[in-house]
């Protein structure tokens, strides 16, 4: 039974990924809790805190116990958390003697937070792999189209010439930074939780720290300086990172949608028969991937304040804020990964129409080069006089529907100083790209660095 479309067997193909749902599936969460219980028993067995035979029995049982969902649901309704039911099932499976050593010195939140940290670790690994693949694909676009000149647009109007390679580099650069952010984030969030009932590990007396550090090593995670039951900055930062990532993906999607408009037609989403079709208009090729990137981004970003609000945990155990994380964290991961998968597919298969870009660039008869002409004339006429001359020529070009170069040739102050060949050079968009190639080179160098890491 799916209520959220991201978890639907139908809409889920658009709003998420099966790989990420597998990481955050309800059953996977329970499995991770059992993994934590097993690891805890093994560590305590090695330290002599529980009998070695009991530790082995608990560890073996954790790997094979079948949880009765109906029984677990009944326990959750009574208790409010699944750990009591899971421990009861594990205790039975381990046997009477060994079972009494299950969950030794731990508290519910230790098990749930540690299980969640394992899920975060796996989720971030999936994000990183697809993020690096998207970076590589955008780098290829930037290199392939570094000289594909097109109209740069500010306020959705022609501004100055750019190249599609630079546009791809602008899409690429924040994603490179997100790879770096992710790598910096992981040590702060891939941490075990083990603090006992009130964060003191009093039940384990002098052995508490040894168990906590051993548990972290056993699970392949970091041991935090102290328990973080009510210090939720790490999980909030994780969802904040996903929100930032979705924002950068939404920028790409927005540009693709605008460039794919019929009247613009400079790019199109990867072609697949029937994709983006309309039930009534056979000619349509809607930007479906970009649309779902935007939808997923909006919802994932809406979860950021939920997680930040959950940081206001009361005293030594939160009464409500922590529980809200259970709703927000898995959905943020699923939606962000779904958006990232769409963006990866866009980057790997985007159709780029260089001829249409050139046609649109020339649509104003060279008016897009007004700044270039003004800057070229300024050393000859002075900046103010050059501005006025070009402004008059632009007015004539617009009024009479002629090209800017032609209109400039009718300006006496210009015609006496620049011949036709010089005007042609000044109005050539490919000659007014500034540091475009250097910017692309910088973006590609950064992309190579994170791809190697």
Angstrom CA distances, 449 to 14, 178, 180, 444, 445, stand at 31, 13, 10, 9, 6
Question: Residue 352 belongs to what H/E stretch?
Answer: strand 351-352
Helices (H), 145-262: 164-189, 208-219, 233-259
**Would you please indicate which residues are annotated as catalytic (active-site) residues?**
278, 317
pLDDT one-digit tens code per residue, 10-57: 887 888 999 999 999 999 999 999 999 999 999 999 999 999 999 999
How many percent of the chain have pLDDT more than 70? 97
Pick the CATH number of 367-426 from 3.40.50.9100, 1.10.40.30, 1.10.260.40, 3.10.580.10: 1.10.40.30
Query: Which sign does the torsion angle of CA 382, 387, 390, 393 carry?
Result: negative
pLDDT above 60 (res 274): no
Predicted confidence at residue 290, as pLDDT, reads 96
pLDDT one-digit tens code per residue, 102-113: 999 999 999 999
Of 43, 58, 63, the residue nearest 92 (C-alpha): 58
Cα dihedral value 179, 254, 24, 184, nearest 10:
20
CA distance 63 to 91: 13
Domain residues of the chain, as ranges? 5-358, 367-426
pLDDT one-digit tens code per residue, 364-422: 989 998 888 898 889 988 989 989 999 999 999 999 999 988 898 888 888 888 888 88
Domain made up of 5-358: CATH architecture: Up-down Bundle (1.20)
Higher confidence at residue 118 or residue 376? Answer: 118
């Amino acid at each position: 039974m799916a209520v959220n479309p991201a978890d639907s067997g139908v809409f889920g193909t658009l709003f998420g990924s099966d790989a990420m749902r597998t990481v955050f599936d309800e059953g996977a969460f329970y499995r991770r809790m059992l993994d934590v219980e097993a690891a805890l028993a093994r560590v305590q067995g090695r330290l002599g805190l529980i009998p070695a035979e009991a530790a082995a029995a608990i560890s073996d049982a954790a790997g094979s116990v079948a949880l009765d969902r109906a029984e677990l649901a009944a326990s959750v309704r009574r208790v409010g958390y699944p750990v009591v039911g899971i421990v009861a099932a594990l205790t039975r499976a381990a046997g009477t003697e060994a079972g009494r050593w299950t969950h030794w010195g731990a508290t519910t939140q230790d098990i749930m937070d540690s299980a969640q940290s394992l899920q975060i670790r796996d989720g971030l690994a999936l994000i990183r792999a697809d993020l690096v693949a998207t970076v590589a694909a955008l780098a290829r676009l930037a290199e392939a189209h570094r000289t594909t000149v097109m109209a740069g647009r500010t306020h959705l109007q022609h501004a100055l010439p750019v190249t599609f390679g630079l546009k791809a580099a602008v899409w690429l650069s924040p994603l490179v930074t997100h790879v770096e952010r992710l790598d910096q984030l992981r040590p702060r969030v891939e941490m075990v939780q083990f603090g006992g009932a009130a964060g003191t590990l009093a039940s384990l007396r002098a052995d508490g720290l040894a168990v906590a550090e051993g548990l972290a090593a056993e699970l392949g995670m970091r041991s935090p300086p102290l328990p973080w039951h009510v210090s939720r900055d790490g999980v909030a930062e994780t969802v904040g990172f996903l929100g930032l990532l979705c924002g950068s993906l939404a920028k790409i999607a927005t540009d693709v949608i605008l460039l794919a408009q019929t009247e613009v037609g400079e790019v199109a989403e990867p072609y697949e028969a029937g994709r983006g079709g309309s039930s009534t208009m056979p000619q349509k090729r809607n930007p479906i991937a970009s649309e779902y990137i935007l939808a997923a981004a909006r919802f994932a970003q809406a979860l950021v304040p939920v997680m930040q609000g959950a940081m206001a945990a009361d005293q030594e155990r939160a009464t409500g804020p922590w529980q809200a994380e259970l709703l927000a964290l898995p959905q943020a991961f699923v939606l962000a990964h779904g958006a990232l998968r769409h963006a990866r597919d866009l980057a790997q298969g985007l159709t780029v129409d260089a001829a249409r870009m050139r046609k649109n660039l020339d649509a104003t008869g060279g008016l897009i080069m007004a700044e270039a002409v003004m800057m070229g004339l300024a050393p000859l006429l002075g900046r103010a006089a050059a501005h006025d001359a070009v402004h008059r020529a632009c007015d004539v070009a617009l009024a009479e529907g002629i090209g800017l170069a032609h209109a400039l040739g009718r300006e006496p102050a210009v015609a006496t100083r620049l011949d036709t060949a010089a005007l042609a050079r000044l109005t050539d968009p490919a000659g007014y790209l500034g540091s475009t190639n250097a910017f692309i080179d910088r973006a590609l160098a950064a992309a190579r660095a994170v791809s190697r890491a």
